[in-house]
C-alpha cells in the first residue's frame, strides 16, 4: 500500500489510461464473439427457467444490468441472488433447469466461487464471467466461461472490467436470443466503441470545472431508473472508493420516499437520464432535488431533458439502447477521478483497499 500511496501522480494517470482504454477493450472482447455465441447458443438450447446471478461491488452492478438486459433480450427472468442463503443458511443454491452466473473480475472472490459451485452441484448450468484466465477458481467451477479480455486492470477502482462485463453479458444474451440479434448487437458494440472514443476527450475536459466547483462535496445521491440503475450504482461506488464521498445510488422514485429530505446545497444529485419511458420519473426526481436546493449534475443520453441542472454532461445515444450504460458511466468514472484530484486524493490507490476481496 505504501508503494502505491507514494506513486500518486502515476496512480491518477493509470486510472485515466484504463478509462481511456475501454473502447479498445470492448473491441478485444468482440474478437471472442464466436466463443460467446457458442455459449449463448448452448444456454438458449437449455432454455433456463430462471437466471441467478451472484457478485459483489462493481460486478454486482453488472448483475443489476443483466437483470434488465437478459430479460429484454431473451425473456429470461434474472435475479441478483443471495450468496448467504446457501452458504450461511443451508438453503438450496439453485435447481435443475436454472442458469447460475458468477461474476468476479479476479475469478477468485471466495464466496462467489463457493456459491457457483453450490449452484452447479444443485443442478444449475454454471457460467463464470471473469477477467481471469480459464485456470481461475471461478472458471473451474463453471460449465461455461466468458473471458472478458479486458487486460490487466492495475487501478484498484474497476472501470474497464465493469464495462467489459456489461458488454459480455449483452453479447451473451443477444446470441442466446438467436436469429440476427447477436451479430446486430456485436455491430452496435463496435459502433459504441467508436462513439466512446470520440466522446471521451470532451468528457475529460467537461468534468474538470464540475469537480472544481464541487470539490467540497462529501455526500451525493446518484439516481436513475431501469437499465441505467446499474450506472447510478457504479458511479456512486466510483465516487466512494476514489473520491471518498458517501455516495448513495437510489431509484429516482425511491429518492422521493424519504432520502430527498437530506438534500441541501452541499449535497448534489447525479442524475442519469435515458431517452425512454423511464425519463419522466427521473425528471420528476430532479425537479424535487432542485426544489430541495441540491445542485444537479445531469448525465446520460437524455441529460438535456433534465431541466434546471447545474451541470450537464450528456453522453451519445448508443445505436442499441441496451448498450447505453457503457457510455453513460464514462462521465461518472472521469468525474470520480477529477473530484479526487480536486480534493487532493490519489485516485489510483484508494486507502484501506486491496484488489481481490477475500471473503467473509
Q: Which of residues 61-100 bind a second copy (CB under 8 A)?
A: 67-68, 71-72, 75, 77, 79-80, 82, 84-85, 87-89, 91-92
User: Which residues, 282 to 301, sit near a second copy by CB under 8 A?
Assistant: 282, 284-285, 288, 291-292
Q: What is the arrangement of strands in the sheet containing 99-103, beginning at the earlier edge strand?
A: 78-80, 51-54, 99-103, 125-130, 144-147
Q: Which three cell numbers stand for residue 172?
A: 451473451
Which residue among 130, 188, 251, 328 contacts a second copy (CB under 8 A)? 251
Instruction: Tell me the closest approach of the beta carbon of residue 42 to a second copy, in angstroms.
Output: 23
In whole angstroms, the minimum distance from the beta carbon of 161 to a second copy comes to 12
Query: Considering the rule CB under 8 A, would residue 181 count as an interface residue with a second copy?
Result: no
How many residues contact a second copy, by CB under 8 A?
75
Cβ neighbours of 173 (radius 10 Å): 28
Cα gap 104→185, rounded to integer Å: 24
Among residues 8, 10, 149, 254, the one that binds a second copy under rule CB under 8 A: 254
Site for a second copy in 115-174 (CB under 8 A): 156-157
Starting at the earlier edge strand, list the strands of the sheet with 219-224: 246-251, 219-224, 269-272, 296-300, 311-314
- Report the SS3 class of residue 267: coil
Q: One symbol per residue from 301 to 340: x for binding a second copy (CB under 8 A), - otherwise; what is it?
A: ----------------------------------------
**Is residue 270 part of the contact set for a second copy (CB under 8 A)?**
no
Stretch 339-358 residues interacting with a second copy (CB under 8 A):
350-353, 357-358
Residue pair 333/238 in contact by the 8 Å Cβ criterion: yes
Residue 53, C-alpha cell as written in the block:
446471478
- Shortest Cβ distance from residue 149 to a second copy (Å)? 22
Tell how many helices (H) and how many strands (E) occur in the chain: 15, 10
The residues, ordered by sequence, that sit 6+ positions from 205 with a Cβ below 8 Å of its Cβ are none
Say whether residue 245 binds a second copy (CB under 8 A): yes
Nearer to a second copy, 206 or 334 (CB): 334
What character string, x for contact with a second copy (CB under 8 A) and - otherwise, covers 17-56?
Answer: --------------------------------xx-----x
User: DSSP assignment of 203-264, as one string?
Assistant: HHHHHHHHHHHTTT--EEEEEE-GGGHHHHHHHHHHHHHHH--EEEEEEHHHHTTTGGGG--
CB of 320 to a second copy, least distance (A): 14
Tell which one of 259, 316, 317, 320 touches a second copy (CB under 8 A): 259
CB closer to a second copy, 155 vs 299:
155
Residue with smaller CB distance to a second copy, 148 or 158: 158
Pair 102, 113: CB distance under 8 Å? yes
| Contact call for residues 291 and 333 (beta carbons, < 8 A) | no
Which residues in 187-226 contact a second copy (CB under 8 A)? 218-221, 225-226
Shorter beta-carbon distance to a second copy: residue 23 or 226: 226
Amino acid at each position: 500500500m505504501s508503494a502505491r500511496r507514494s506513486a500518486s501522480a502515476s496512480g491518477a494517470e493509470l486510472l485515466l489510461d484504463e478509462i481511456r482504454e475501454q473502447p479498445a477493450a470492448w473491441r478485444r472482447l468482440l474478437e471472442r464473439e464466436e466463443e460467446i455465441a457458442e455459449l449463448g447458443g448452448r444456454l438458449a438450447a437449455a432454455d433456463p427457467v430462471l437466471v441467478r446471478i451472484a457478485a459483489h461491488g462493481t460486478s454486482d452492478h453488472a448483475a443489476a444490468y443483466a437483470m434488465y438486459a437478459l430479460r429484454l433480450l431473451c425473456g429470461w427472468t434474472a435475479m441478483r441472488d443471495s450468496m448467504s442463503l446457501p452458504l450461511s443458511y443451508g438453503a438450496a443454491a439453485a435447481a435443475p433447469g436454472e442458469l447460475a452466473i458468477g461474476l468476479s473480475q479476479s475469478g477468485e472472490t471466495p464466496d462467489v466461487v463457493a456459491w457457483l459451485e453450490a449452484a452447479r452441484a444443485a443442478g444449475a448450468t454454471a457460467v463464470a464471467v471473469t477477467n481471469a484466465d480459464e485456470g481461475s477458481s471461478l472458471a473451474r467451477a463453471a460449465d461455461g466461461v466468458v473471458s472478458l479480455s479486458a487486460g490487466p486492470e492495475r487501478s484498484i477502482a474497476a472501470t474497464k472490467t465493469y464495462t467489459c462485463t456489461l458488454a459480455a453479458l449483452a453479447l451473451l444474451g443477444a446470441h442466446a436470443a438467436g436469429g440476427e440479434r447477436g451479430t446486430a448487437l456485436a455491430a452496435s458494440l463496435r459502433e459504441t466503441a467508436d462513439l466512446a472514443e470520440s466522446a471521451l476527450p470532451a468528457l475529460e475536459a467537461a468534468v474538470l470545472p464540475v469537480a472544481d466547483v464541487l470539490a467540497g462535496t462529501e455526500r451525493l445521491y446518484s439516481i436513475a431508473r431501469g437499465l441505467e440503475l446499474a450506472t447510478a450504482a457504479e458511479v456512486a461506488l466510483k465516487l466512494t472508493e476514489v473520491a471518498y464521498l458517501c455516495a448513495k445510488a437510489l431509484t429516482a422514485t425511491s429518492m422521493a420516499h424519504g432520502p430527498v429530505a437530506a438534500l441541501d446545497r452541499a449535497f448534489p444529485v447525479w442524475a442519469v437520464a435515458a431517452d425512454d419511458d423511464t425519463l419522466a420519473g427521473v425528471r420528476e426526481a430532479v425537479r424535487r432535488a432542485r426544489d430541495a436546493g441540491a445542485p444537479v449534475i445531469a448525465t446520460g443520453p437524455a441529460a438535456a431533458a433534465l431541466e434546471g441542472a447545474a451541470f450537464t454532461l450528456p453522453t451519445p445515444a448508443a445505436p442499441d439502447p441496451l448498450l447505453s450504460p457503457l457510455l453513460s458511466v464514462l462521465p461518472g468514472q472521469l468525474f470520480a477521478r477529477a473530484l479526487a484530484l480536486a480534493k487532493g486524493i490519489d485516485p489510483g490507490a484508494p486507502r484501506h483497499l486491496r484488489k481481490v476481496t477475500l471473503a467473509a
